[in-house]
Structure formats: structure tokens, C-alpha cells
Amino acid sequence: MMSHRMLIQNTVVTIALLAVFTLIAILFFYLGKNTTSVAIIYILAVVLIARNTTGYAPGIIAAFIGVICVNYVFTYPFMQINFTMDGYPVTFTGMIIISSITSTLTSHLKQKNQIIQEREKLLMEAEKEAMRANLLRAVSHDLRTPLAGIIGTCSTFLDTENTLTRKEQNRLIENIYSDANWLLNMVENLLTITRIRTNDVPIHTSPELLEEIISEAVIRFRSRIPSAVVQVQIPEDYIMIQVDAILIEQVLMNLMENAYYHGNSQEPIQIILAADEACAYIHVRDFGPGIPEEKLATIFDGSPSTPNQSGDSRKGMGIGLTICRTIMAAHGGEIYVSNHENGAEFTCSLPLKEEDSHESEINHHHY
């Protein structure tokens, strides 16, 4: 049943569009004295009415009104309804059939589009729920294990403080410090994804130099993990891009930490910056065992990862890679992963304006 409000809206739209197109038809008729152009104008009015109203009735009613107007106003004898003259019955019958079919098809397509949009909305909601469930699993894994490690280490320290050597005490404190840093990174990730997924708080972008963002991320990463070695390759020309610098730094931090903990290699982590006419690309490459083929398609879904080969079960990739994908999507970019001959490589692409893109040779810098 159509609501009273919808009925009024349909009526107002139909009358308004018919009035506007009648004025247009009068203008065309007195300029060209051509009834055919007037009929086409009314068919166009029917299409627009069907497109901007709900249900089939407004378009069909508009089609009949259009036929009557063409006969009454624009066909000899003027200001009289007369369907008896030669050729007129066929013309007006054709017009009413064409107008009615056009109106019906337009309304039908509109309804199908609404159904498709509703299905897409439901699919998006289902995808969000699945991602939310994955995030909860990742959070429970990535936060519980370092907390358990801190509690266990503190318990060991308190129970055996008098029997431990100074070196053993330092090792336990270093483990606590490492786990605490990991927890801090997880909290930063949670705050980041909450910020991005709150529709009322859009990301704030500004023109930034990508090489400066990379430099800041590497400095932060080295302060958190002093033993890490990072090799950065950047173009000679500057690459300016409209981004939220802090969020892109967070992506790079997550990728470098994954490369360090899961790559488990003595080789430096490589960050390679490149650009073409459309996008800037940031490649983060490690030289570890790579990522199992069966996990490549789902690695960004937020599922907790299995422990790495070093036995360090507290360093899961889980939520960090989901954060990376969310941040890149918020910037209109993408992130994807592949294995190369000697490890894994994550690639972030960010869209560039045409005037911001640069192509040049590569310089090598070490941090």
C-alpha cells in the first residue's frame, strides 16, 4: 500500500514535470510548427516521471495526459479533442502504447535497481559482520598471547629473583619490554581502525612527500626495534600525494614488523618506492620463508596467523594486515601480497593525480 506521503510526492512530481514539459512543447511548437517534436517531448516527460516516482501508475497516467495534451493543444482543430481525422487514431494510439511501454520499462528497471542495491547493502553488511568476527578473533589472539607472556615472565621473575643471574634478569625484562611494545602497537592499530570505520570522522588528507612518510616510518620502526636493518629505494624525483601521513606510516610500521618477525632473516628489509602515471607503489620485501600459498587469498581477513618458524607464538599478523587494507581502501588504494624467489612482498598502491606522477631512476639509501 502506498503511503499518503508517497501519493502526494508522486502527484507533485507528475504535475510539475508535465507543466514544465508542456511549456517546452509550446515553445517548440510555435517555433517549428511540428507536432512530432511535441510528442517526443511528452514521451521524454513520461520517462522522467516514471524515473522520479514510485510505482507504475504515475508514468501511465502521465502518458494518457500527454496524448490528450498533444491532441487538444497542438493538433488541428486546436483546443478541441478530435481523434476522427485521417491518420490521427494510429498516431495517438502509437504514442500511448510507446509512452506506456516506456513508462513501464523505466519503472521496472528502477525497481530492479532498488532490489540490486538492497542486495548489495545486505552483502556489505554480511561482509562487515564477517570482518568484525575475524577482527575479534584476531584481537583475542594478538592481545591475549603477549599479555600471557608478560604475566608468565613477571611470575618467573618474582619466584626466582634471588637465584637468577643479572644476565637472566635482563633477558626476562627484555621479554616484558618486547611484549609491552607489541601490545602498544596493537592498541594503536585498534584506535586506527576505529577512527577509519567511524563514518562521522573521515580521514584528513593533505599533500605529503611519500619519501618523508617512509623516512618517518623507518625511524619509528628502528626506535622500536633497534636491531632491524631497513634498505630504502626511492626515485630521484619527489612524489607528492594527498594522504593522511600518520595512517600511511601505520601501514608501513605494520608491514615492516611483519617482515622482521615473520621473515626471520638476517637480510635487510627492503622498501622500494616507485610510481607510474596513475599510482605510487610502495613495496615492502623480506627475505624469509614467504607466505604459504593457501594463505595468500585470506591473509588480509584478520584471521590469527600460526606461529612463525622461530617459535615466537606471540607475534601474530592477524589484525595488523586488516588495518593495512582498511587504511589503503580509505585512501582509494589497494594492498596485495605475493611471494618472490627469496621471501614475501607486500605492495601498496596509492592513486596519483596526473601532475603528481613522476618517473625516474632509483637511488639507494640505507637506514
**Per-residue pLDDT tens digits for 167-225:** 888 888 888 887 887 777 777 767 766 666 555 456 778 899 999 999 999 998 888 88
Q: Last residue of a domain, which of 122, 156, 174?
A: 122
Whether 188 and 102 share a structural domain: no
CATH classification at residue 262: 3.30.565.10
Instruction: List Cα–Cα distances, 295 to 92, 247, 299, 303, in angstroms.
Output: 66, 25, 6, 10
Residues 189 and 308 in one domain: yes
In a domain, 140, yes or no: no
**Burial letters 271-282, b for 16+ CB under 10 A, else e:** bbbbbeeebbbb
Region 79-83: what's the mean pLDDT? 72
* % of the chain beyond a pLDDT of 70: 81
Q: Please check whether residues 173 and 114 belong to one and the same domain.
A: no
Answer yes or no: is 243 within a domain: yes
Residues 230 and 219: their CA atoms lie apart, in Å, by 10
Kindly report which listed range (3-12, 225-234, 264-273, 351-360) carries the lowest average pLDDT score: 351-360
Same structural domain, 196 and 317: yes
For residue 314, pLDDT beyond 60? no
**For residues 289 and 94, which has the higher predicted lDDT (pLDDT)?**
289
Q: State the chain's mean pLDDT as an integer.
A: 79
Q: Is the pLDDT of residue 228 over 80?
A: yes
**Residue 51 predicted with pLDDT over 70:** yes
Do residue 104 and residue 35 come from a single domain? yes
What is the pLDDT, as a whole number, of residue 210? 93
> Bigger pLDDT: 76 or 83?
76
Query: Distances in Å between the alpha carbon of 183 and those of 96, 141, 186, 311?
Result: 71, 11, 5, 19
**Gap between the Cα atoms of 160 and 351, Å rounded:** 56
Return contacts of 165-172, CB within 8 angstroms, 24+ apart: none
Q: Are residues 30 and 91 in the same domain?
A: yes
Are 205 and 285 within one domain?
yes
Same domain, 114 and 169: no
Confidence class for position 85, pLDDT limits 50, 70, 90 = low
Q: Which amino acid is at 226?
A: P
Domain range for residue 51? 4-122
The answer as to whether 251 is a domain residue is yes
307 has a pLDDT exceeding 60: no
* Residue pair 289/108 in contact by the 8 Å Cβ criterion: no
Residue 147 lies in a domain: no
Question: Per-residue pLDDT for 355 more than 50?
Answer: no
Cell 636493518 sits on residue: 229
Q: What angle do CA 249, 363, 231 make, to 5 degrees?
A: 50
Is 139 contained in some domain?
no
Does residue 74 contact residue 46 with C-beta atoms inside 8 Å?
no
Whether residue 228 contacts residue 298, with contact meaning beta carbons closer than 8 Å, is answered with: no
Task: Enter the DSSP assignment of 106.
Answer: H
Whole-number pLDDT of residue 311: 38
Q: Based on the fold, state whether residues 209 and 93 are members of the same structural domain.
A: no
Q: Name the domain count of the chain.
A: 2
* Count of CB atoms situated within 10 Å of the CB of 303: 21
Report the DSSP pairing between strands 279-285 and 269-275: antiparallel
User: 237 lies in a domain?
Assistant: yes
Same domain, 90 and 204: no
Res. 113 pLDDT band, cuts 50 70 90 = confident
Give yes or no: residues 210 and 103 share one domain.
Answer: no
Provide the 3-class DSSP secondary structure of residue 120. Answer: helix
Which of 240, 195, 199, 232 lies closest to 215 in space, CA to CA?
232
Query: CA-to-CA distance for 85 and 214, rounded, in angstroms?
Result: 81
- Asked if the structure places residue 198 within a domain, the reply is yes
106 and 42 fall within a common domain? yes
